[in-house]
Amino acid sequence: MLVPAADSDIPAVAALMNRAYRGESSGWSSETSFISGDRTSEALLRADLAAEPAAVLLKWVDGPGAGFDGSVWLQPVAGNVWYLGSLAVDPHRQNDGLGRRILAAAEDWARARDATRIRMTVVNVRETLIAFYGRCGYAPTGATEPFPYGDDRFGKPLRDDLAFVILEKPV
């Protein structure tokens, strides 16, 4: 189940995100062929939470007292539209359906707070991930956002053709 991450969870969430996105064993979800370096840091996560007080960083726990193997960011952005980002699953659990369960639970979380649409951005060259989200009901809006070249806080791009594809799903 998804529960809000405490401040004391931030170091573990940052480590999980770095393993899931850029770790040596991150499998099909790896970004290492087009972005190097860490995906995030404790300082960046804390700064993002401070800058967006309506956002919530959630962690997936399998039961009381259990550790967590996944996390996700949710944020209301406009009216009843929520942004979902930074979905991370421990690489050792990526093939057991946990990502799909976290995604569904995040949609339920936002819906319970009056969301009618979920929006996300995905790096355009992550075709396998875009296809996964498509199977989960997310569709490209046709809009894109520029990749933050020159801002190495989220890693160093290894290609010059990166952008973010915007996907949405009614919930």
| Residue 73 contacts residue 102 (beta carbons within 8 Å) | no
| Predicted pLDDT at 95 | 84
Instruction: For the chain, 171 residues long, give each residue's pLDDT as a single digit of tens.
Output: 999 999 999 999 999 999 999 987 767 778 999 999 999 999 999 999 999 999 999 999 987 767 899 999 999 999 999 999 999 999 988 888 999 999 999 999 999 999 999 999 999 999 999 999 999 999 999 999 999 999 988 899 999 999 999 999 999
Tell me how far apart the alpha carbons of residues 81 and 143 are, in angstroms, rounded to a whole number.
16
Q: What is the domain range of residue 94?
A: 2-170
Residue 146 to residue 155: CA distance in whole angstroms: 15
85 closest CA partner among 50, 116, 110, 112: 110
Query: Helix crossing, 10-22 with 42-51: angle to 10°?
Result: 110
Q: How many domains does the chain have?
A: 1
Residue 149: predicted pLDDT: 96
CATH number of the CATH domain containing 11 = 3.40.630.30
Hunting for tokens 């004391």 — which residue is that?
8
Q: Is the pTM of this model over 0.75?
A: yes
